Structure 1
């Protein structure tokens, strides 16, 4: 048997430590100062990284009450059907389709149509003004770009009523759009982070055409529904209870079952509802637009976009997921990212799901949606889009979006065959 190599360090002759006279005094002092400075610098860097991680974590779960108006309005021309708005060309404003401009801190809202002109030399785009819902666009100089198109259900030419959902945090407003010849399945529209009920209005005509009443909900901390004591988003861990309340309302009003429509974080909320709710058997299907199916992936992407070092970003995730991080994040309870990782839990998803996601989504990368569909093709159908960025698949190609959802729902909602082939 070969001898084992010794790991004991080699011994050296004992040497008397040098005296102060052996080393010049200035060098000794500089050495001490250098060691102290390095320690101070290391401590400062660590403190700075911790502060940045805490800031990043708080931003993730803190609702934005005033969203930045970062698009520049250069001119408004014409009147009536000839009215046009000229905007600074940006990654968003160059994409074709119909969108909205919100201005005057959200008090103003207009709908703009498809791209009329793009001038790379002048870095401008021109779009027609389709509808002016509120505010005076001619006085606006900056606006927020949005995939929202309609202001209220009235803009769809459909009857609707304002209803109230009894959440455990208080009463929350919702819109109920009835359907002619309703067939028993309701659509519940769940908006994303930083959005409102308006986000789901794009899907109402599709649901309405299939005989599905639509319930467009608000949920805790979204600015319409009551806030929780901590005033923080739960990224789906808490908001699903509000969707459960919406399901209970629908069932009490005559629904046989429901389909949950979710955008972005609304997708995470819908997935969590189908997984955790006592009423999950009443969820017939999920229609998810640019959904968050893995928060760890999204947070890593957001850290990269904001030039936050990966290690700092991971520490921010740790703060969100640990009880000891609550003092820094403001959360009442830590978040369970494993429970919301539907890539890892793909085979556990037993609700028929349609995912619509743009391959160039700049906010929620498409990768986890692709992987979810790959791992669970029995339950998950994926429709990929291009040039739609985040949650704007309908805006870029409304006909394709409608056809995909209508076809999938027609199949999912078809009468179920009983054993022996009887319906």
Structure 2
């Protein structure tokens, strides 16, 4: 009887243990799927991770919760009340361990008041009209349909055939590049701010997923053809964040790549695996979860989970490993405290291809906020590089 009871207890323990193991495996699978989907699903709403503590419109100040973003000098956009309001903020006036008081430059729309639903943005400008320069809204014929773009002439109004095509990043739109227009106009460039699939402006792909550069490059290839048809003879491709990955794919896969005389990369993704593993470490995800999420993105069998129309070959997006394939003058601007895309791959590529890559490192400018942090240095670095390297 005792032996029977003992055996029964062992079977019960085994069943419970097996059930727990299955539950643990299922939970791990769900986490992997969620991580993978977060990477490849276009985001329409950014996290509201900032708090407005106080507003004094008469004095022209706004007080924010002290965070790394809130404490960095420069000028930024401030979205509030779940992005229903927008203001422009300037330099830091004073700060404590708890709060940062900044200059309140302008409230574009919304009723700014203390709220826990706010976020800082590098966009700064939202519409071309804010720049006070001529602009045309144009459309680019892509394989998915018409993609809207903004086209700005050079400052002197003379199109010499030198163009720059700006490519925005993950979760962004062509508004991201408005702050760079002045720099290129003053250097005599026609500036095209392009859109690409699934960004909310351009047509959606059938799967409505990011290809992390592996599909979006087709739309920038179309932008190259548009520029060529419009008289461009020397094109610089500029990519912000994931836009850097799109630019690198375009450069190495486009049949119009001979028109590209150089590339500029701001806070770029140069190696997706390095970037995603870095983000996973920040989130303290166990490595098996991270690697499982990467496999989901890369695998054909996982399509019912990810929704991807085709797997993404992340290894082929490592341009440190592919450094020998690059042959155009390249300018990289990256901050070592980026917090989203590590500067390690940028530094590695600059070291591997010191013959063509110029790296301008920043220390405290965060992700894609280098212009905001130090516009003068950012602009002069680009202007000097264009003068030296691009014909």
**Shorter-chain-normalised TM-score: which range?**
over 0.9
2:42 — aligned with what?
63
2:138 pairs with 1:159: no
Residues 52 and 114 in structure 2, CA contact (< 8 A), matched pair in contact too:
no
Per-residue deviation at 1:336?
Answer: 1.1
Q: How does 1:264-283 map to 2 (within 5 A)?
A: 264-283=241-260
1:296 — aligned with what?
273
Q: Separation in 2 of the partners of 1:74 and 1:336?
A: 45
Q: Separation in 2 of the partners of 1:139 and 1:389?
A: 25
Distance 1:406-1:134 versus aligned 2 partners, 3 A rule: same
Whose radius of gyration is greater, 1 or 2?
Answer: 1
After superposition, give the CA deviation of every residue in 1:28-87 in whole Å (9 maximum; x if it has no partner). 1111112222222222211211111111101100111222222111222133xx421111
TM-score scaled by length of structure 2: 0.96
Find 2:56's aligned residue among 56, 59, 77.
77
Residues 334 and 343 in structure 2, CA contact (< 8 A), matched pair in contact too:
yes
1:29 — aligned with what?
8
1:327 — aligned with what?
304
Distance 1:162-1:104 versus aligned 2 partners, 3 A rule: farther
2:223 pairs with 1:240: no
Q: Separation in 2 of the partners of 1:274 and 1:264?
A: 16
Q: Separation in 1 of the partners of 2:281 and 2:334?
A: 21
Residues 133 and 151 in structure 1, CA contact (< 8 A), matched pair in contact too:
no
Per-residue deviation at 1:277?
Answer: 0.6
Q: Separation in 2 of the partners of 1:316 and 1:116?
A: 43
Q: Separation in 2 of the partners of 1:347 and 1:134?
A: 49
Residues 293 and 343 in structure 1, CA contact (< 8 A), matched pair in contact too:
yes
1:130 — aligned with what?
105
Distance 1:150-1:367 versus aligned 2 partners, 3 A rule: same
Gaps in structure 1 of 5+ consecutive residues: 1-20, 415-423
After superposition, give the CA deviation of every residue in 1:187-211 in whole Å (9 maximum; x if it has no partner). 1111100111111112111101110
After superposition, give the CA deviation of every residue in 1:211-235 in whole Å (9 maximum; x if it has no partner). 0011111111111112112111110
Per-residue deviation at 1:137?
Answer: 2.1
2:223 pairs with 1:223: no
Residues 153 and 177 in structure 1, CA contact (< 8 A), matched pair in contact too:
no
Q: Separation in 2 of the partners of 1:336 and 1:367?
A: 21
Q: Separation in 1 of the partners of 2:221 and 2:49?
A: 35
Q: How does 1:15-414 map to 2 (within 5 A)?
A: 24-79=3-58, 82-120=59-97, 123-138=98-113, 142-179=117-154, 180=156, 181-414=158-391
Residues 82 and 117 in structure 2, CA contact (< 8 A), matched pair in contact too:
no
Per-residue deviation at 1:301?
Answer: 1.3
Q: Separation in 2 of the partners of 1:223 and 1:195?
A: 9
Gaps in structure 2 of 5+ consecutive residues: none
Q: Separation in 2 of the partners of 1:321 and 1:239?
A: 17
Report SS of the residue matched to 2:345. Answer: helix
Q: Separation in 2 of the partners of 1:186 and 1:226?
A: 24
Report SS of the residue matched to 2:102. Answer: strand
Distance 1:78-1:104 versus aligned 2 partners, 3 A rule: closer
Give the aligned CA root-mean-square deviation in angstroms: 1.5
